[in-house]
Each structure stands twice: as C-alpha cells, then as structure tokens.
Amino acid sequence: MSAEIRAHLAELFTTALARVAPQQSAAVVEFERPKQAAHGDYSTSVALQLAKPLAKPPRAIAQSLVDALPPSAWLEAAEIAGPGFINLRLKPAAKQATVRAILAAGRTYGRAARPARQRVIVEFVSANPTGPLHVGHGRQAALGDAIAALLEAQGHTVHREFYYNDAGAQIENLAKSVQARAYELLGVAVPFPEDGYHGDYIREIAQGYLAAHGVAADDPHALEKAKARLDDLDAVRRFAVAALRAEQDRDLKAFGVAFDQYYLESSLYADGRVAKVVAALVAAGKTYEKDGALWLITTDFGDDKDRVMRKSDGTYTYFVPDVAYHVTKWERGFGKAINVQGSDHHGTVARVRAGLQALGIGIPEGYPDYVLHKMVTVMKGGAEMKISKRAGSYVTVRDLIDEVGRDAVRFFLVSRKAEAEFVFDIDLARSQSEENPVYYVQYAHARISSVLDQWRAAHPGELGGDAARLAEADLAPLTGARELALTARLGEYPDLVAQAARELAPHLVAFYLRELAGEFHSYYNAERFLVPELPLRLARLALAAAVRQVLANGLALLGVSAPEKM
RNA sequence: GCGCCCGUAGCUCAGUGGAUAGAGUAUUGGCCUCCGGAGCCAAGGGUCACAGGUUCGAAUCCUGUCGGGCGCGCCA
C-alpha cells in the first residue's frame, strides 16, 4: 500500500516540479515518514535541496511547489514547516485502504509486489562436526534463516546450505579424543591428545562406539575385543562424525531451522575440484613458488599479503577448498551468495574473493556477500555463563533452548544488528512477564485472536464469523488518531521488509514488531472492539485482524510462532 | 604494528544526511464492576567517546585521537 502512496506522491511532485522549476525536473523527490505525528504522514525536503541550485529561499520554493500540486484523491493537505519542509497529510480513505489490502492479501502481505527472481544461496551455521552447536552457531542459524526468509519474501528463490569440514586436522583430533576416552573407559590410561576435545559428549560417543561393537565395559575381555576396533582410527572418525552430525541435526530441528543441502568439504577433494582450481590458478599466472610452497598473489586483489595455497608438505591450506566450494555456488547458478559467519572469520573474506577473481571466470567482484556477526555473551544470574557440562568450554544452542524456549532464543538472537556484540540475558529472556519483548509481541497476537473469538461468540453469523471477510467491512468509521496511526504503521510493513532484505538486517523486523505490538496494546487499552454499533464494531475488528495478520507475517519471517493462546 | 567492526540514557540496544535523538529494562507514581494486567498511562534520566572537517542541515559522511572486540603462521 505504502508503495502506491509513495508513487502517487512522487507523481504529484514531479508534475509540480516541472511547472515550478523545469530546469530541475530531473531531481528525485524523496519522501520520508516523519518521527513526529504533528509533521504529517509523509514529508519531503526537496525544497531545501533545491535552494542552492535555484538560488531562492527554501520556503519560497516550497510554497511554489505546494501551489503547483495537482488535485489528488488521497492528499488532504500540504503544509510548509520549519526551514522549508513540506509536510503531507493523507486523507483517511488512503489509510483505511491499507487495512483492506492486508486482509485481502493475508499471508502474502509484505511480499514484494514486483518479485526479484534471483537464485540466491545462503550459507550459514556450517559447523564442523566436532561438538554440539554453540551460541555463535545459534546466532548464525537465527540470522541466516531469517535472512533467507526475507529474501524469499522479495521473490528470490533461496537455497539454504550448510558446509562442513569432515576430513581435516580438527576431525582427526576428534577421532583421537574419542579413542582416548574409549581406552579410559576400558581402564587403560592413555595420553589425551594435546588439543583434544574435553566435553562430556566425547565420552558418550566413546561409549556408543564400544556398544556398537558389542563391547561392555564390565566385560573382562573388553579390551582385547575392542582393541582392533579402537585402533581403526578411520572407523572411530566416521562414527564420531555421524554421531555429532545427528546431534547437530536434532538441535537445528529443535530450533526450527532446516537446510536444503549439506555440502561436504571432503567431496571437493574427491571429485577433483580442489585440484582443478589449483591448476586453473597456476595457469592464470596468479601463483608462484617460494620456500617449497605454492602461493596465490592475493595482493593483486586487495589482500594485504599473499597467501599460501599448497604447503611444503604438499597439502592444501583451508582456503583452497573454500575457493573451490564457492566456484560451485557460482556454477550451480546462484547469482547471489550470502555467507553468515562469525566475525572471527573475516580474514577469509579477502582470500576467497581474491581466489574467485584470480580465476577470471566472470564472477562479480563482491561475490560472495558476507554477514559477519559478533560474539554472543550469555549472562545468567548477573554473571557470565561460560561453560556447559556437555560441551565443556562453551554454552550450546541446546542450553539456550532448554533455558528459555525456542521462540525467545530466536527472537533475541535476531533482535540486534549482526555487527553488534550481543549480551544474551537468560533471566530476561526467561521471564514470562512484561519485560520480555517476545511475549509482548506474541501477546498482542493472542489478544486479538481472543477478541475475534469473542466476537464470533457474541455475534454469531456476522460475516460468517470469518476474520478474512472483515475486508468487506466499511472502514470509514476508523477516524480516531490511534486508528489512523495504526493503519499508517501497518502500511509501512512492506517497505520495512524490503529494506530488511536489502540490508540483510532482520533486526529491523524485530523492532518493527515491537512497535506495532506497542501501538496495538495502547489502542486496545483506550478503545473497545465489541461495541454495540455494528459499523464501528466491524471496522475496528477489521483493523485488529489486519494487525494480527502483520504480526503473524513478521513473526514467521523470524521463525517465531504466533500463538492464538498463551 | 597493520586490517575489519563497535563506542548513543544506570543497564541492553534502535536510529535510511533532516525538525525537540528514541525503545526496552531499571527507578518513582497512577490505571482492572469493562473484549486476556504477559497490558496501559505518566515522570525523571543524554557532552550521541573526543577533536577537527564537508553540508542549508551531522549520532549518521571524511580525517585524526582515545577506548573495546576480533583477525593478522605453510591453523580451520
């Protein structure tokens, strides 16, 4: 709706501008929503911007423009204010139309009117299977899934992908840790790997491995039965990876996040893509040999030093398969790629992009896009929570879900800009009371549902009790200041979603929902819906139903439920 | 030392170059014979880290300084 209003206003001003200052008719007139209601529904500073080129006082320009505006069915008044702002007030009919549009569109309200049909891949979480997911992964999961949903709302075809390393040194380390714990369980003291994994889960996996091979710890012949199995490090590795992948999948499912594809780093070696990329880079003349290693000249592409691709021992550094992986994204037809990662990985950005550019195969310079997020600090009882029994040295996603529930975790983790450090206050998230923003928004949704239920009970048969049919209601009775402000807020939603998608910033949606819910709660407290007068009753219920629809649509983008009862 | 990000109310944080910088929370004081009080109304609380610059106009853009986080190995 707001897009139509903007287009309409732009047309009015373009016409006025052509009359007043034909030499400036190319100027683009921008409209913004003033912070203060007294400044109207929209305002433009075009007169201020034209003051210099036209060499006239801004207020005089504003006056000429206002005088030259063609008549409009939507525009109620244009007023000049302050140094030369033009404040525009819309007729109630323009705002009331928003309510009807929302009820007619239902779940699709907020989706782009003109879909941008691009194939986009969003890579997120990408945790290596060496332990349970930690809170950083949780932030990535919440962010990545919301970003993907936002892009879908803009009409893109979105592919959610999880990339993981199933073969490197860390995995080797995992296998050795499990092996050592298994020996311990059998009463054999073995040295624990220096950089081994210490969480309780390692012991569980070790137990699982023994059990899977029919070895019980109290069996006097356990050791001799198990030894061959335990010394098969490759088998231990496969077992451990499978166990941890299964656990991560359970956690992701509990978090409401699903992926279209899991991409294995090892497959890039197996299918020759890594070797192919190296050969292509050498052939492109972007490499050199030094100290027995092969280097990529990343400094040609903005990096601050060249990087080793192939170490002197003949193995590749991690970023080579990373480049090969991103080539597959391009070759799979994803014109846009977004990677959600912790900001501790920002060193890889320049390297991956440089590698892709050095190949010279037509991949755009900024490919892929990165959303880098800062660390999450978890607070509980006024102190930082640093450990969990299961994982050892870090707090897991599962810990958070167990503490405060999925909805609160997801809402909290997307309610901050990615690049801001984030303090997650467990006590705040857990309190089911007024200080919790998740429940505040959900409560507004449940409240409206309850009002609609009571409407059906009190006035059976009215519009068939169908909330969607409230779109048929005459909305002219909606003339109160709160009502018009609410409709204006509802009208902002599609623009807001578009902006959040453009900026890859789901926190904008979270803040919008907080504000919308707040305005609704105020309205609820000030007015009644189930009034005796039929036209007013239906008009207000239509407004409430529209609010509920937008709350539900917004919460869905964030992966948070919209309950009818709480 | 170099690079990236951040610095806004006691705390946690919003803030597309626009008008008097906003929420939540905390504190204080009010509101339920009435559709869900997980709610509402109100008050107090600010050197937008600091200093220059660009601009009709700067929390926002540029430069520098200070403070914090992260990254800078033939680790991933």
β-bridge mates for residue A559, sequence order: none
Q: What's residue A195's pLDDT?
A: 82
Tokens of A550: 């937008």
The answer to whether the beta carbons of residues A6 and A494 sit under 8 Å apart is: no
Query: How far, in Å, is the CA of A35 from the C1' of nucleotide B63?
Result: 32
Cis omega (within 30 of 0) on the bond before A368? Answer: yes
Between CA A85 and CA A92, with CA A86 as vertex, the angle to 5 degrees is 140
pLDDT band at A434 (very low <50, low <70, confident <90, very high): very low
Query: How far, in Å, is the CA of A374 from the C1' of nucleotide B49?
Result: 21
Q: Mean pLDDT throughout A486-511?
A: 93
β-bridge mates for residue A175, sequence order: none
Q: What's residue A309's pLDDT?
A: 92
Buried-exposed string A30-67: b where 16+ CB fall within 10 A, e elsewhere: ebeebeeeebbbbbbbbbbbbbeebeeebbebbbbbbe
| CB-count burial class (<10 Å; 0-12, 13-18, 19+) for A434 | exposed
> A111-169: per-residue pLDDT in tens?
988 888 899 999 999 999 999 999 999 999 999 999 999 999 999 999 999 999 887 88
Q: Which nucleotide is nearest to A165 (CA to C1')?
A: B76
pLDDT band at A33 (very low <50, low <70, confident <90, very high): confident
Q: Mean pLDDT throughout A352-381?
A: 91
Query: How far, in Å, is the CA of A435 from the C1' of nucleotide B27?
Result: 15
Q: Which nucleotide is nearest to A442 (CA to C1')?
A: B38
What ipTM was assigned to the predicted interfaces of this complex? 0.94
Question: Does residue A505 approach strand B to less than 7 Å at its CB?
Answer: yes
Residue A433 has pLDDT above 70, yes or no: no
Residues 391-420 of chain A within 7 A of strand B, judged by CB, are 415-417, 419-420
pLDDT band at A297 (very low <50, low <70, confident <90, very high): very high
Worst-scoring range by mean pLDDT, A24-38, A183-197, A385-399, A434-448? A24-38
Q: Which nucleotides of B are covered by protein (CB under 7 A)?
A: 2-7, 12-16, 18-26, 34-41, 55-57, 69-76
Q: What's residue A391's pLDDT?
A: 82
Is the pTM for the entire model greater than 0.90? yes
Residues 87-146 of chain A within 7 A of strand B, judged by CB, are 87, 128
> A232-265: per-residue pLDDT in tens?
999 999 999 999 999 999 999 999 999 999 999 9
Q: What's residue A432's pLDDT?
A: 55
Residues 301-340 of chain A within 7 A of strand B, judged by CB, are 304-305, 307-308, 311-313, 315, 317-318
Nearest protein residue to nucleotide B14 (CA to C1' distance) is A511
* Average of per-residue pLDDT values in chain A: 90
